[in-house]
Structure 1
Amino acid sequence: MRDSSDKTPVWKAIAQALRGDLAEGRYRAGDKLPTEAALAARFGVNRHTVRHGISALVGEGLVRTRRGAGAFVASTPADYPIGHRVRFHENLIAAGRRPEKRVLALDARAATAGEAQALRIQVGDPVCAYHGLSLADGQPVAVFESLFPTDRLPGIMAALSETSSVTQALRAAGIDDYTRASTRLTAVRATATQALVLEVAEGDPLLRSSGVNQCAQGRPVEYGRTWFAGDRITLTLDEM
């Protein structure tokens, strides 16, 4: 007869069951696990016991929890080089990830003082503002805003309306090649709206990259600001 004290604790059994789900591919990297309430109903236990089992998976690095968002299957951060050439699709493909961009908004407005300085135009000059979401393997990794001087890039608004690729849009506007002129990296915390789009919790750490891209003649063609989810992207600095 087996002593009852030798029985596997229920929370360990739950952790083992979830490990099996991960091993079978029921959940992929980045997927959200069922809620504590749903798991409690599945295993016939209380939420505290479920939480104990999930904590074991967190300790093993299999699962990550985000305050107010739930538990997610851990994914390895994608390497994203910041250097002389910054190309979203090429960078993620090189890291073995599937890149995707979604246009959130596209509008024309007047340049602010800081934007005008970065683009070397006058305050109030027209710019095309491209707001978007970058994804890797279907998981949001960054939100961004790119600004283009419309007087310098005729047709840029129409080009961006047809493609999410900045490289293709610039080519349509007459820029065959461009390189990074400057980059500034800052650690910030996610605002409520950024958290919603990136599927993180408000206040979670983000890496903000501000940069200027220039054409072969040295004229700025893009001023971009990107907010990367801190646990999904590893920024690496290439030699300029």
Structure 2
Amino acid sequence: MIGIKNIKSTKKIALASIGFITIAGLAVYYIGDLKKQNFLYSSDSDYRIVSGEAMFAETFTDVEGLAENADIIAEAEVISQKSNPNYERLDVYTVSELRLTRVYKGDVEIGDTVSVLETGGEFDEREASKYTSGKPGSELKDDLGEPGIITIGIEGSIPMKEGNKYFVFLTENRDDVYNIVGSVQGKIKINDEKTLVSQVSSEVIKHGNKHSNLFFLQENYSGENISELIYEVERIVNNRNKRHITHI
């Protein structure tokens, strides 16, 4: 039998536990809210961004997945680029020339240049209208009600921009051209303060992401100093090298 004193004591413990859980919950919420405040976003487009959908052959959920599948991990600057629209097929891809400024993985050196192909880029709806005029669903209009130039991005992620610096995870294809690991996953902008900046808005990350953790890199590292990502990458690469040496 539980006496009155024990009941009172049990109530006190229960209330204390509830209070602790409440405080812990508020702490988690507060930390999460601070993380959102640190989030940095830059669209880096002079035009309206139109999001195209894609079927991804493979996506990743952490930095280790990106690093393990990358032929090159580096900091790089986009020194030139060209959008290649096909107005008849209504698609576009962009090829950027990157100069490597720091290398963490890969058979390359600082100062080397690599070409990177990304789906998306600048697209002139007026040119496309020449091929689609009169067809159902062919009304291409900008915010002013007339066809214009737009920037097409896959799932809200637009291609890199000339003049910007990025932290990139790259994989080489058969044409000696590189692709972003995870298509849109393995790149994040670096600003002049060495802070990482997302080119995908928080709204897109939260509401427009149909694939689990597609933009985990932007969500977890945007607003953080680049040293946080460097530490994680170097840890993964060093562990991989140790395992490789052990197996030799």
Q: TM-score range by the shorter chain?
A: under 0.3
User: When you count strand as a share of all residues, which structure comes out higher?
Assistant: 1
TM-score (norm 2): 0.23
TM-score (norm 1): 0.24
Q: Which structure has the greater CA radius of gyration?
A: 2
